[in-house]
Structure 1
Amino acid sequence: MMQDFLQHTTWQEWLGVFFSVFQVLLARKNNSNNYLFGIAGISLSLYVMFYAKLYAEFTLNLYYLVMSIYGLLYWKFGKRKSETVISETTNQEKLITAGIVVGTFSLFWVFLTHFTDSDVPILDSLVSAFAWAGMWLMARRKIENWILLNMSNIIAIPLLIHKGLYLYAALTVFLFIVAISGYLEWRKNIKSKLVSVT
């Protein structure tokens, strides 16, 4: 089993996971440099997901790439040319988030079922839908990003195991744990800001 795992795990997968681990640990610490590691990991993941026929995941990684560049710039400069602070989503942002989930799921499901040879169109679409919304919230430094990303992670773990991408499945378990920790860390950050204001 272990020998089979090592033989079928490419260097792109190993390196992509390595960069992704550093990215999420830096994001948890509210460090904007997380996006630099993210861009490196995403670039390698594009290759892996395409050859695994996880087309929604491939497209998701393209989106991650764009959002990582956007996130890096937004975290650093934001609207006021100063670093954006962590906050909770507004009602308008909640509606936008729901729209992203429903819209991306619908688009991916239609595309995967009619135009690809995907054998997992529903799960692949769900993983991507929640992750698209979560990544948008993370780029805007909204605490709820961790919740949406973990909804994606829960669905992604069995999907990646089904596809034989055991290293990415293990990474996703790790991401799930870090997302819980990240949520708690960001919640503490918000509370400390409120205390310092009052």
Structure 2
Amino acid sequence: MNTPQWFELLLSQLKQTSLLEWVAVVFGVIQVILAKANKVLLYPAGIIATIASAYVLFDIKLYAEALLNLYYLAMSIYGWSFWSKTKNKPEAPVTFTTRKEWHITLTIALLGWAALYLVLAYLTTSDVPVWDSFVSATAWAGMWLLARRKVENWILLNISNMFAVPLLFYKQLPLFAGLTIFLFIVAVAGYFYWKKIAVRNL
């Protein structure tokens, strides 16, 4: 497929994009910009984006991705609470991941990948169980680090993003694929910005 044909296909698919997909994408963009800026308001925006995304992804049989968004919802509620400053608790600082936290992160990613693959391969009609489960498992791990306000969350999230882009194009979701490319770029900037903050917090 040459470039004009690809662009024509993209425009055709964008015209067929549902309102719910647009809601998910717009609030997803708002969420990641606020996350990069280290603002707690990323979480209410994220809650709206994840609910809309879960419905869209389940409808096209990307079950692990849909489940991932429900996990995002839980992590958004947890992260909102963890980040929030109260009278008795100061705001959680941005820090680097400890060895113990890396062990937890890798456990989430590996066990999540294995468990999701088994569910998708044997209990659903998914045609991409390995791919879908890997994207979701690495994002699960990254979201846990984000909720804990760890610099390295951006690394895990971008591993997920790299594999998610072709998966979303394959599933004919160009708007979601475009959002994921945008998320990848912002995550690179977010990593370096958060790293500076974490160094100041040492």
Band the TM-score falls in, shorter-chain normalisation: over 0.9
TM-score (norm 2): 0.93
Task: Count matched residues.
Answer: 193
| Structure-2 residue corresponding to 1:71 | 79
Q: 2:92 aligns with which of 75, 84, 88?
A: 84
Letter paired with 1:107: A
Match of 1:124 in 2: 132
Paired with 1:152 and 1:73, the residues of 2 have a C-alpha distance of 25
Q: 1:9 to 1:90 in 2, by over 3 A?
A: same
Distance 2:78 2:42 in 1: 13
Deviations along 1:102-135, one digit per CA (max 9) or x if unpaired, are 1100000000000111000011000001000000
Whichever residue aligns with residue 144 of structure 1, its letter is: E
Q: Alignment partner for residue 12 of structure 1, among 17, 20, 29?
A: 20
Per-residue deviation, 1:59: 0.5
Aligned partner of residue 88 in structure 1, secondary structure = coil
Q: Which residue of 2 aligns with 1:104?
A: 112
**How far apart are the structure 1 equivalents of 2:38 and 2:166?**
29
Residues of 1 paired with 2:40 and 2:201: CA distance?
18
- Residue 146 of structure 1 is matched in structure 2 by 154
Seen in structure 2, the aligned counterparts of structure 1 residues 107 and 87 have a Cα distance that, compared at 3 Å, is same
> Amino acid of the residue matched to residue 110 of structure 1?
L
Counterpart CA distance in 2 for 1:2 and 1:61 is: 25
1:25 equivalenced with 2:33 (yes/no): yes
Unaligned runs of at least 5 residues, structure 2? 1-8
Distance in 2, Cα, partners of 1:89 & 1:2: 39
What is the root-mean-square deviation in Å for CA atoms of aligned residues?
A: 1.2
* 69-78 or 167-176: bigger deviation: 69-78
2:3 alignment partner in structure 1:
none
* Aligned equivalents of 2:11, 2:136: Cα separation in 1: 31
d(CA) in 2 for partners of 1:64, 1:22: 15
* TM-score for both structures, normalised by structure 1: 0.94
